[in-house]
Amino acid sequence: MPTALITGATAGIGAAFARRLAADGFSLVLVARDEKRLTSVAEELRLRYGVSSEVLAADLVTDEGLEAVERRLREGVDLLVNNAGFGLQGRFLDIPVEEEVRMLKLHCEAVLRLTLAALPGMRERDRGAVINVASVAAFLPGGSYSASKAWVVNFSESTAMEMAGSRVRVMALCPGFVHTEFHERASIDKSGIPGFLWLSADNVVREAMRDLARGVLVSVPDLRYKAVVGVSRLLPANVIALVSRRLGRR
């Protein structure tokens, strides 16, 4: 039975990955900070899908948390989903630097270290995959959140190229606005975001798994957001930044 390790597994896209992979017959390693919530999710998955789920409570902005997950990855997994992340409310100059550094540690250092922990075993077995959850924001100017997600995309593409010639795949997943706890946790006002731009986490995961099977390097779920990314490559950055702000990104 293949094994998948998912960070940020208790809600949103991470929980949707857990449901999809459990339905596909994966044994799961669920990672998040809240052990009680992790245990509840693991039990729900066991009852619904009959799969076993390891619970690994870890705070990935700490070295101790990262080291614990690195150790588990070195034991061997078939799929790593680097999904944990958060956003910050306000403009760059108004946000405490400590919060900015925490976000970069989670979005960049954790993705780097966990990917590096998983890939050697995958390459040795000549099978496996890593999905790094980024965002459509990676293609839009929007503060350090967008910058960190742009790093995830570039890192994933570069690492995928290093795995060329093997059966190990690395993919960046770039969803748009998704119905999750993300905005509530960051106290971000969603009222300025048009309803037609919202996606469901389950649909995002379904398209992600399809793209992974096809060997896509950067998955952008939904035609609407594929169009957004395409247009963003054509318009001046200041225009894109204005539209992004008006949609409630900042």
d(CA 1, CA 51): 10
pLDDT single digits (tens) 86-143: 988 777 777 889 999 999 999 999 999 999 999 999 999 999 999 999 999 999 877 8
Q: What angle do CA 178, 63, 29 make, to 5 degrees?
A: 50
Q: Which residues pair with 160 in a beta bridge?
A: none
Residue 183 pLDDT class (50, 70, 90 cuts): very low
Q: Which of 139, 145, 155, 177 is catalytic?
A: 145
pLDDT single digits (tens) 71-90: 999 999 999 999 999 988 77
DSSP 18: H
Among 22, 17, 21, 47, which residue's Cα sits nearest to residue 32? 17
Give the type of residue at 154. N
Q: 67-71 — which CB contacts under 8 Å span 24+ positions? A: 69/5, 69/7, 69/31, 69/114, 69/117, 70/113, 70/114, 70/117
d(CA 28, CA 78): 10
Does residue 225 carry a catalytic annotation? no
CATH superfamily ID and name for 3-246: NAD(P)-binding Rossmann-like Domain (3.40.50.720)
Q: What is the pLDDT of residue 159?
A: 98
Give the type of residue at 93. L
Please name the residue that has the structure tokens 């044994």. 27
